[in-house]
Amino acid sequence: MNEGKLFTLIDSAMDEIKLAFHPVSRYQEIPFNLLRSNVLPVILRLSEHPFLSHYFNYMEDKDTYTYRHSIGVAIITHAIGLIIDFDQQELVELTEAGFLHDIGKAKIPEEIINKPGALTDEEYAIIQNHTCFGYEIMKNIPILTYRQALVALQHHEREDGRGYPFRLRGEEINHHSKIVAIADVFHAMISKRSYKSPVPIYKVLFEITESRYGTLDPSIFLPFVKKIMNYMIGNEVLLSNGMKGKITHIPSNDPVRPLIQTDGVYLDLRSERSIQLLEVI
């Protein structure tokens, strides 16, 4: 399928997500069968593309952030599921949970959801309720699983117990929720918002990896980071010492500190800790 047709599919999928949120905001049921038939096939196709940033860039100028975020998180969620070898049934369940993870935001006032600046403490407390709202919506839909409802509830929980709504830790958090949490953080960081610029993908990967023993589960995100970094092998990079080089190898134990070839010399950023990769060109 050519690029133009894929972009048309993205537009259609985003329209379906938007339509799904509106009935919920009026306390009606999610038109989930339409989402399953019209959105899921698009996500499955896009998730298998090696250069996901190409499609994320296309979505940046589209409609409200919440809708494109739902598509983006579902795509990343599915990609992670593929990397960690989920079977087809579990992949579908996980991906559906990914694009419904924020459905509870339909019951949050739009002026808070779309506020162009920082939230007040009171507004932040209100928006945190979207996890509980999403859980209540999804657990009452017969064709959805309880685990999918838990994703809506737990995708802001963190390994160190500093998340919400219940400050769960480690194994207290459902495995699918941990996957969607990583996709949620990753897509939010690479996305443009009215109050922030998108963060370059490499910097996002670096920051997520640096927090590996705190907020997110390293057994899930390290394979994801390594997969993305492997696509960068052969790319030119700019280093913090002003030199340019080329990525030649991605180490499994520390994928954001690759082996760089520059001026006939190899630099291992795992041992050259004073030198950092600033930009992938």
pLDDT for 32 beyond 80: no
| pLDDT higher than 90, residue 5 | no
Give CA–CA dist 241/222, Å, rounded.
26
C-alpha 150/C-alpha 46 separation (Å) is 25
| Percent share of the chain, pLDDT over 90 | 53
- How far CA 193 is from CA of 58, 116, 117, 204, 216, in Å, comes to 14, 8, 9, 15, 23
What per-residue confidence (pLDDT) applies to 264? 85
Full-prediction pTM beyond 0.75? yes
DSSP 82-113: HHTT--HHHHHHHHHHHHHTTGGGGGS-HHHH
Residue 219 — φ and ψ, nearest 5°? -70, -20
Residue 164 has which token pair? 């919400």
Is the pLDDT at 142 greater than 70? The verdict is yes
CA–CA separation, 48 vs 36, rounded Å? 18
What was the pLDDT predicted at 239?
A: 94
**DSSP-derived pairing of the beta strands 244-249 and 259-262:** antiparallel
What CA–CA distance (Å, rounded) separates 56 from 117? 22
Q: What is the mean pLDDT of residues 139-149?
A: 92
Residues 190 and 76 sit within 8 Å (Cβ to Cβ): no
DSSP 41-80: HHHHHHHT-S-HHHHHHHHTTSS-HHHHHHHHHHHHHHHH
Domain residue ranges of the chain, discontinuous segments joined by +: 3-198, 232-280
pLDDT at position 156 is 97
Lowest-pLDDT range of 6-10, 133-137, 244-248, 255-259: 6-10
The CATH code for residues 3-198 is: 1.10.3210.10
Please name the residues in contact with 173: beta carbons below 8 A apart, sequence gap of 6 or more: 154, 157, 159, 181
For residue 253, name the pLDDT band (cuts at 50, 70, 90): confident
pLDDT, tens digit, for every residue of 37-79? Answer: 777 887 777 776 655 666 666 666 555 677 788 888 998 999 9
Whole-Å CA distances, 28 to 22, 63, 117, 153: 9, 23, 30, 19
